[in-house]
């Protein structure tokens, strides 16, 4: 199992309750593909530098995930099929930098 970072941009035109449901659906997709959510941070609404579709802003959610390399492709594909998720990006987490004493 490798550690990955997942960034989701959710459509901001839906209600806060629906945003919560979209995050829970994303977590279900992860667990269905035998991945484990290690950390989650809801970063809130942020403006885009240029429009994505008809949206000028989005609701950002960051997750740290433990998953097998084989399941990453299936997870990414399933997230792209979700109507409420504008964009998703999953990448392998880098090693933590060593702090000098």
CA distance 92 to 56: 28
Query: Is residue 24 within 8 Å of 16, Cβ to Cβ?
Result: no
Name the H helices within 1-101.
16-32, 69-80
Q: Mind listing the pLDDT tens digit for each residue in 44-97?
A: 999 988 888 788 899 999 999 999 989 999 999 999 999 999 999 999 987 666
Task: Give the chain's domains with CATH numbers.
Answer: 2-92 (3.30.70.60)
Q: Mind listing the pLDDT tens digit for each residue in 2-21?
A: 899 999 999 988 998 999 99
Number of CB atoms found within 10 A of residue 73's CB: 11
Is pLDDT above 80 for 101?
A: no
Q: What is the DSSP letter of 95?
A: P
Number of CB atoms found within 10 A of residue 42's CB: 14
């Amino acid at each position: 199992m490798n550690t990955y970072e997942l960034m989701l941009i959710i459509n901001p035109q839906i209600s806060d309750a629906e945003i919560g449901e979209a995050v829970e659906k994303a977590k279900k997709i992860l667990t269905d593909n035998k991945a484990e959510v290690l950390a989650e941070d809801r970063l809130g609404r942020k403006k885009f530098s240029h429009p994505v579709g008809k949206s000028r802003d989005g609701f950002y959610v960051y997750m740290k995930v433990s998953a097998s390399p084989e399941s990453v492709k299936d997870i990414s594909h399933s997230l792209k099929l979700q109507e409420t998720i504008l964009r998703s990006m999953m990448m392998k987490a880098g090693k933590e930098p060593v702090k000098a004493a």
